[in-house]
Amino acid sequence: MISRVGIGSYAFRYAIGFDNFKPKHPMTVYDFLTVLNKLNYNRVQLCENLNILKFNEKQLLKVKKLASDLNIVVELGMNTFNEENLKAYLKISKILSTKFLRIAVSRKTYNSIKNINLMFDNSLNLLKKYLKEFKENNIYIGLENHYDLPTEKLVELVQIVDDKQVGLIYDTTNHLAFLEKPESTLDLFFPYLFSIHLKDYVIEKSEASYLIKGTILGEGFLNMERILKKTIKSNKLISIILEMSIERNLNQNTNEVIQWEKGAVNQSTANLFSCLNKLKEENYLS
């Protein structure tokens, strides 16, 4: 089971950078692989924030070699489910010999029944059209709950496709956009569960609203032990991936934010491994 535990590139969203936060020296994919290796992970999910789409074949082969040298299994993460993206990630998957692709249907939060139906139909058509190619290359597809399609629609998609290489990825905070409890979403996903993305959260009362905020794994409202106990019962489980969604302190400078993020990842990793070791001692893990 420990070999299935990894970390995603969104654990280092600030070190890698994005439109509103640009480090002077952003963490590269090579830096990321080296760091996670030092943290004793041997599985990684390379998501869209690393701009893998812009890599040429030579760069991708360099990534593949480093991952192989460090004994790291590579997963890919794709956001926005359209044909252009799908074809590009299939090509990348083949070069990297990646066998698992995470798909987030849309970058946009759903806002109408019409949009939901359009996203659903588009996703279903693409899955059917490219399923043969996925199977020929032994690539498994995981659809993630991601603020776009409601849980029931994601389950329906997988049920219609009805293939062992198409399943679901459960993110432990994204369901909050639909005001679902963690266990409720997981129960619906469980028969088709390929992967779980672990993130923790807290809910705070403000003057006239409630704020849902990310926090260090193991220090928030998420019952990590209970979630993991259920997750590891899935005979389809491919991976357990640590992610982070903690907002930076706007009063800190860039270097301070990056150092704070590093500490948060280190503590989350320690809490995750501690929980897994406890489960192993209790004979939940082999």
pLDDT tens sequence across 109-165 = 555 666 888 889 999 999 999 999 999 999 999 999 987 888 999 999 999 999 999
> For residue 178, is pLDDT > 80?
no
- Per-residue pLDDT at 284: 80
| Helical spans, DSSP H, in 137-240 | 151-161, 182-189, 224-231
Distances (CA, A) of 177 to 32, 109, 182, 185, 222: 29, 9, 11, 12, 15
d(CA 107, CA 170): 17
- Per-residue pLDDT at 255: 96
- Per-residue pLDDT at 127: 96
Average pLDDT over residues 82-102: 96
d(CA 196, CA 228): 9
- Do 246 and 216 meet the contact criterion of CB atoms below 8 Å apart? yes
253-277 burial: b if 16+ Cβ within 10 Å, else e = ebeebbeebeebbeebbebbbebbe
- Per-residue pLDDT at 180: 74
Average pLDDT over residues 197-226: 92
> For residue 1, is pLDDT > 70?
no
- Per-residue pLDDT at 111: 57
With CA atoms as reference, report the closest residue to 127 among 61, 181, 56, 192. Answer: 192
> For residue 44, is pLDDT > 70?
yes
For domain 2-281, the CATH superfamily is Divalent-metal-dependent TIM barrel enzymes (3.20.20.150)
Task: Delimit the domains of the chain by residue range.
Answer: 2-281
- Per-residue pLDDT at 109: 59
Q: For residue 184, what pLDDT band results from cuts at 50, 70 and 90?
A: confident
SS3 263: helix
Q: Which residue has the higher pLDDT, 146 or 279?
A: 279
